[in-house]
A and B are shown apart, each in its own frame.
Chain A
Amino acid sequence: QVQLVQSGAEVKIPGASVKVSCKASGHTFTGYYIHWVRQAPGQGLEWMGRIDPTSGGTDLAQKFQGRVTMTRDTSITTAYLVLSRLRSDDTAVYYCTRWGIVGASNYFDSWGQGVPVTVSS
């Protein structure tokens, strides 16, 4: 079955960087964009950006440009999110999710379990 399995919780100090991974299985890795969505405590869902697993090309929400890097390793069907220059308001749960590139599943139909990231001095 389709699974997106993410790395574990992180605690970082302000100004540091965090790297979160998302291991995909049960589907053709290059057939789906991987998107990153975060949710601050008690807040709504916030779309951060997506990566095309085939080309590695990315589209980022404007507020994250310059601070977010998305990469992938097709050999191990894993996508990565790096958020740099962390601030306290980056404290959130970070989800990966998939969106079909062609054909069916053109929606967020499978999600990772989420990674809590805490930024605190």
Chain B
Amino acid sequence: SYELTQPPSVSVSPGQTARITCSGDALAEQYAYWYQQKPGQAPVLVIYKDSERPSGIPERFSGSSSGTTVTLAISGVQAEDEAEYYCQSADISGIYVFGTGTKVTVL
């Protein structure tokens, strides 16, 4: 099995940009997906296929990829963006994995 590694926490002031990285060998060949989870709630998709944004997700959420690392950026961070964020990917054999999770704190 493979792993996806994220920083445990990121702190950012309102209006600034938060960047969350996710690293794993499989990301060089497989797409990454990002989910936002607030306490007591199910996860919500915010980015798919590395950089695509689902309908209804604010434009301040963006994704990028470089080699074995993908990055979720939240520009103009708002208080409502405070949450846990997870990256996720899958291998071609049908095995999926979530990243270790990053807690975003808005100062």
Contact = CB atoms under 8 A, between A and B. Distances in A.
A40 B100 CA distance: 13
| Interface-centre pick from B1, B96, B98, B101 (highest chain A CB count, 10 A) | B96
Interface in A72-121: 95, 97, 106-109, 111-114
Contact of A95 (B33, B42, B99): B42
B93 A45 contact: no
A59 B94 contact: yes
B35 interface: yes
Contacts, number: 52
Q: How large is the interface on B (under 10, 10 to 19, 20 to 34, 35 or more residues)?
A: 20 to 34
Interface residues of A, number: 20
B48 A61 contact: no
Contact of A59 (B48, B93, B100): B93
B96 A107 contact: no
A111 B42 contact: yes
A113 B41 CA distance: 8
B86 A44 contact: yes
A108 B101 contact: no
B93 A108 contact: no
